Amino acid sequence: MLKTLGRETKGFRLVSVLTPIFMIAEVIMEMIIPKLMASIIDNGVTPGNMQVIYTVGAQMVVAALFGLLFGILGAVAGSHAATGFARNLRRGMFRNIQTFSFANIDKYSTAGLVTRMTTDVTNIQNAYQMLLRMSVRAPASMIVALIMSYTINRRLANIYLIAVILLGCALAFIMSRATKYFGEAFRKYDDLNESVQENVSAIRVVKAYVREKFEGEKFRKASENVRNLLMRAELILAWNAPLMQLTVYSCILLISWIGAQLIVSSGATTFTTGDLMSMLSYCMNILMSLMMLSTVFVMITMSAASAKRVAEVLDEQSDLTNGENPVMEVRDGSVKFDHVSFAYKKDGEKALEDIDLDIKSGETIGIIGGTGSAKSSLVQLLPRLYDVTEGSVTIGGVDVRRYDLDTLRNNVAMVLQKNELFSGTIAENLRWGNPDATDAEIEDACKQACADEFVERFPDKYQTHIEQGGNNVSGGQKQRLCIARALLKKPRILILDDSTSAVDTATDAKIRHSFAEKIPGTTVFIIAQRISSVENADKVLVLDNGRVSGFDTPANLLKTNAIYQDVYNSQTKGSGDFDEKGGEA
């Protein structure tokens, strides 16, 4: 974990080293001041020598100014190092997430990833800054103060040593008890963020069903769980302050009492008033250093769980990688499934079993089947969103695992069931398919997807702003824009995963007709609920519980396949919903 996080300090290692150096320099300046103060009292104030007071006083001012300078430099360098470290952590996680396969992403919830990039990184940032500054300053201050105390009076210095040992044991006990609760609390943040995310993204449904109170109660329970765990941890940490104060005041009383006796008994010869003042100053330095260390321990305790969660994301390796000498060109859109089986988890139930298909380049393949028949799972194997468990999938005569991932995915355009648009203009969204696309190419893609019909009606046309998630366009409009975006890739294979479900039948027919005319060499896979969407396909694949029930022309399937017959009859005779026999996977 430490090695993983340490890699992300790159670019900020110099300031990370300079920060503790400045802190040590500040401590040295602070430790000089009590010694100079003793000299003023013993050699200046007591004998009434103003020259000593001026000289030593000037030295104290210089030491204080240098201490201030080193303190400022340490604070600036520490802040620069900590914020840079946090930036690198967020950037590193984000970049690594982009490489994840769907199988990797399935391990984490969206809310969990958001928590890691916000709350967890903030905890690590605060802890890192404390480590660079306080974890160096506090021990250095305590050690130097103890050494200086022993140079003044060994007997009184032993009081500090005993206090440090007792207080250190007490703090270690407190920290060990609080760690468990902080770890649990940060895991509960995922549930809290998930509740907020789910509520905001589905706010229209919440209001439509008048479920505000129910959602409010869910959030209350999630926030209450976090509060209870943090409260338990804070109640344990609350013992920190009174123990610290008890130790500080006890030491001050003992030093004052024993020191006064030494001054009186020795006639201020072996132990002077200035020495007592110095010992009291060192007392405060030592015990304040312990208080700083306790704060550092609290931050480390809070950030330990966060550090593990962040390192987990940074260490996660995509299970889909390029092999040696990857193929950089897709010859054509021919597809072959060679006895393919697939399961989402190792040793889990197979979603697909023994799929054996041979599809020629340029063919249009319709795919139908009941709910859970793994239609989406099948097509997700083509761009290697998942890898097969058994068998092989080849495109253009080459196993997809041998292709360069970018090359493969640039030649396999996929319009998923859940269409996503991003905030920006229509043109910017479409250029996700091809960043170098010209305005003419964009307009042509929209014509093929029948999106030009509504885009031209917008006052700003292709410069019309799309809100996040495409909330200011209808479902059908969103689907057509996503199809146009896919067409801009000019792919060898085009996959429409129930991508015209929100489009009327006439527009659906226009889109399919446009494909036949404009992209005859592209292999098209159409997952659909409507028979009309696949009845003109070259072949239709019927899936049943992850197995091939039929793969033939629509006309032949209508004669030989019971599932296809049932779907056809239910829709053409108007006798029910498709999902009575099976909906979309």
Q: Please, are residues 25 and 70 in contact by the beta-carbon 8 Å criterion?
A: yes
Partners of 365 in the β-ladder:
525, 539
Alpha helices in 490-530 (DSSP H): 505-518
pLDDT at 574 exceeding the cut of 60 = no
C-beta atoms surrounding 60 within 10 Å: 18
**Of 137, 121, 167, residue with least CA distance to 74:** 137
User: Which residues 6+ apart lie within 8 Å of 473 measured at CB?
Assistant: 421, 466, 481
Query: What distance in Å separates the CA atoms of residue 171 and residue 291, rounded to the nearest whole number?
Result: 10
The angle, 0 to 180 degrees and rounded to 10, between the axes of the packed helices 505-518 and 475-487 is: 0
Query: What distance in Å separates the CA atoms of residue 273 and residue 256, rounded to the nearest whole number?
Result: 10
Question: pLDDT tens for residues 522-549?
Answer: 899 998 888 888 888 889 999 988 899 8
Tell me the backbone φ, ψ of residue 391, rounded to 5 degrees.
Answer: 80, -160
Separation of CA 116 from chain center: 4
Residue 578 pLDDT: 41
Q: Please, are residues 488 and 442 in contact by the beta-carbon 8 Å criterion?
A: yes
Residue 346 pLDDT: 67
Residue 577 pLDDT: 44
Residue 573 pLDDT: 66
Question: pLDDT tens for residues 317-363?
Answer: 877 778 788 889 888 889 999 999 998 876 678 889 899 999 999 89
Farthest-apart Cα atoms in the chain, separation: 120
* Own/partner pairs, 394-398, CB within 8 angstroms, 24+ separation: 394/335, 394/336, 394/338, 395/330, 395/333, 395/334, 395/335, 395/492, 395/493, 396/330, 396/331, 396/332, 396/333, 396/334, 396/361, 396/492, 397/331, 397/334, 397/336, 398/327, 398/330, 398/331
Residue 321 pLDDT: 78
Partners of 392 in the β-ladder:
338
Evaluate the CA torsion angle 33, 34, 35, 38 in order and state its sign. positive
Residue 123 pLDDT: 86
Domains in the chain (CATH in brackets) are: 2-315 (1.20.1560.10), 367-382+536-585 (no CATH), 411-528 (3.40.50.300)
Q: What Å distances lie between residue 381 and 384, 415, 432, CA to CA?
A: 5, 14, 22
Question: What percent of the chain stands above pLDDT 90?
Answer: 12
C-beta atoms surrounding 394 within 10 Å: 17
Residue 6 pLDDT: 82
Residue 579 pLDDT: 44
Helix, strand, or coil (residue 549): strand
Question: pLDDT tens for residues 103-135?
Answer: 777 777 777 788 888 888 988 898 888 888 888
Query: What distance in Å separates the CA atoms of residue 176 and residue 186, rounded to the nearest whole number?
Result: 17
Question: pLDDT tens for residues 227-236?
Answer: 888 888 778 8
**Of 547, 545, 500, residue with least CA distance to 525:** 500
Residue 580 pLDDT: 40
Query: What distance in Å separates the CA atoms of residue 489 and residue 519, rounded to the nearest whole number?
Result: 12
Residue 576 pLDDT: 44
User: Which residues 6+ apart lie within 8 Å of 155 measured at CB?
Assistant: 258
Tokens of 497: 């995963």
**Of 31, 252, 36, residue with least CA distance to 260:** 252
**What confidence category does residue 263 fall into, taking pLDDT thresholds of 50, 70 and 90?**
confident
- Least confident segment among 16-20, 529-533, 574-578: 574-578
Residue 224 pLDDT: 84
Cα-atom radius of gyration of the chain, to the nearest Å? 36
Q: Please, are residues 544 and 369 in contact by the beta-carbon 8 Å criterion?
A: yes
Looking at per-residue confidence, does 178 or 79 come out higher?
79
How far the first Cα of the chain sits from its last, in Å, is 39
Question: pLDDT tens for residues 406-456?
Answer: 889 889 988 877 778 888 898 998 998 888 888 898 999 898 888 888 888
Residue 186 pLDDT: 67
Question: pLDDT tens for residues 47-96?
Answer: 778 888 888 889 989 999 998 999 899 899 999 999 999 999 999 989 88
Alpha helices in 202-272 (DSSP H): 203-208, 212-237, 240-266
Partners of 505 in the β-ladder:
none
Q: What is the spatial order of strands in the sheet that 539-544 belongs to?
A: 412-415, 493-497, 523-527, 364-369, 539-544, 547-552
